């Protein structure tokens, strides 16, 4: 009886919502084919898959080898290097790239003339829409040792030219600076919106009491946006293992692998360029699992802070 009523309800739901099912179908098929099928393919990390021409079907028949690929990675020099670079570059981002848009939002908010404010916003959003390929092209032009504008300036001031993009000392600072340049404006949108929502009477009261601009920012604006800052910080920490492949791959070269090689660049070079599919799938899986853990943790934390988050 109960079973039948379920079948009946199921059939009804199928018919009643037929248009909705139909609308959902193409998108759902996309996610199953292009997102979930590759998840099945992860098993090659535990197999010895050579398949140059074997394709996806060859995955199933490849012999199992357990955790061997993981052992090779964890025992190699590259493990420490890739981990270290990923963590260190993320740390630099948290330290410098994260606060930059907050500072910008505070400053933009203090602009009095509306047209000027809008102009600053539009101009600072601009680099966000450029690709890393283009930004790498700009950086190459500005930083090149012989003709680059920066080195021409250094030389005219009597210094020796610096090979910025091939220097182990300079490469990471260039990563951070170029990321700030590209994303500072776009990143400030969220904070500006939060600042705009602050009750203006608080500022008036503070001014009557003789508070300076700095005091107003420190004692009114910052506390008012602290919640959104905390949420964005947690989200940023959750993205710690997102390597910014786009940026690093377009800027790095063998001479700076030591300070710039991260999970995704390592996986790309080994997997695609050297066709070590199983091994690099294993390395990729290590990264994916770490990323998943970080995101799950950060989502928990941001929900505790009362954020609705994405969903």
Partner 1 sequence: MSGNLTRSEKVFLFFNDVAMVLLCAIMIYPVLFVAGRSVTPDVERALHPLRIIPHSFDWSGYTFIFSTGSNILNSYRTTILRTLVGTSLNIVLTTLMAYPLSKRYYPPRKLITALIVFTMWFSGGLIPSYLLNKSLGLLNSFWVYIFPSAVNAFNMVIMRNFFMQIPDSLEESAKLDGANDLHVFFRIYIPLSTASIATITLFYAVYHWNMWFDAMLYMNRKEWWTMQYTLRMLIDSANVTDVATIGSAMDNIPPAETVRMATIVVATVPILCVYPFLQKYFVKGMLVGSVKG
Contact set for partner 1, span 89-128 (CB under 8 A)? 104, 107-108, 110-112, 116, 119-127
Return the residue of 231, 233, 240, 259 that touches partner 1, per CB under 8 A: 231
CB of 73 to partner 1, least distance (A): 13
What gap in Å lies between CA 260 and CA 10, rounded to an integer? 54
What gap in Å lies between CA 12 and CA 31, rounded to an integer? 26
Q: Does 205 bind partner 1 (CB under 8 A)?
A: no
Distances in whole angstroms, Cα of residue 139 to Cα of each of 72, 87, 125, 143, 311: 37, 24, 18, 6, 38
**How remote is the C-alpha of 306 from its chain's centroid?**
23
Q: Does 21 bind partner 1 (CB under 8 A)?
A: yes
Q: Does 272 bind partner 1 (CB under 8 A)?
A: yes
Return the residue of 4, 5, 55, 114 that touches partner 1, per CB under 8 A: 55
CB of 45 to partner 1, least distance (A): 8
Q: Does 256 bind partner 1 (CB under 8 A)?
A: no
Angle between helices 114-125 and 171-196 (to 10 degrees): 140
CB of 173 to partner 1, least distance (A): 16
Q: Does 257 bind partner 1 (CB under 8 A)?
A: no
Residues 6+ apart with CB under 8 A from 311: none
Q: Does 295 bind partner 1 (CB under 8 A)?
A: yes
Q: Does 147 bind partner 1 (CB under 8 A)?
A: yes
Return the residue of 145, 250, 255, 257 that touches partner 1, per CB under 8 A: 250
Query: Which pair of tokens denotes residue 101?
Result: 């848009």
Among residues 259, 6, 256, the alpha carbon closest in space to that of 143 is found at 256
Query: Which pair of tokens denotes residue 112?
Result: 């009095």
DSSP state of 95: I
Site for partner 1, residues 163 to 182, rule: CB under 8 A: 181
CB of 171 to partner 1, least distance (A): 17
CB of 41 to partner 1, least distance (A): 3
Q: Which segments of 12-132 are extended strands (E)?
A: none
DSSP state of 29: H
């Amino acid at each position: 009886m109960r079973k039948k009523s379920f079948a009946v309800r199921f059939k009804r739901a199928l018919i009643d919502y037929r248009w909705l099912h139909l609308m959902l179908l193409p998108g759902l098929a996309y996610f199953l084919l292009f997102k979930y099928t590759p998840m099945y393919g992860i098993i090659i990390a535990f197999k010895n898959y050579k398949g140059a021409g074997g394709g996806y079907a060859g995955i199933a028949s490849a012999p199992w080898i357990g955790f061997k690929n993981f052992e090779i990675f964890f025992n190699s020099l590259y493990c420490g290097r890739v981990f270290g670079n990923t963590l260190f570059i993320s740390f630099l981002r948290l330290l410098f790239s994260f606060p930059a848009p907050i500072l910008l939002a505070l400053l933009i908010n203090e602009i009095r003339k509306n047209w000027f404010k809008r102009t600053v916003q539009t101009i600072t959003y601009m680099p966000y829409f450029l690709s890393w390929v283009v930004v790498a092209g700009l950086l190459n032009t500005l930083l090149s040792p012989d003709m680059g504008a920066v080195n021409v300036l250094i030389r005219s001031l009597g210094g020796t030219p610096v090979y910025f993009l091939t220097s182990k000392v300079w490469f990471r600072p260039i990563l951070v600076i170029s990321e700030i340049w590209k994303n500072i404006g776009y990143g400030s949108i969220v904070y500006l919106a939060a600042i705009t929502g602050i009750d203006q009477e608080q500022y008036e009261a503070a001014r009557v009491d003789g508070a300076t601009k700095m005091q107003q920012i420190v004692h009114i604006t910052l506390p008012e946006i602290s919640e959104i800052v905390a949420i964005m910080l947690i989200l940023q920490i959750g993205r710690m293992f997102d390597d910014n492949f786009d940026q690093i791959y377009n800027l790095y070269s063998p001479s700076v692998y030591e300070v710039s090689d991260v999970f995704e660049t390592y996986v790309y070079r080994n997997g695609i360029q050297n066709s070590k599919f199983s091994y690099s799938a294993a390395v990729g899986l290590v990264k994916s699992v770490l990323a998943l853990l970080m995101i799950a943790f950060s989502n928990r934390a941001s929900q505790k802070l009362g954020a609705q988050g994405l969903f």
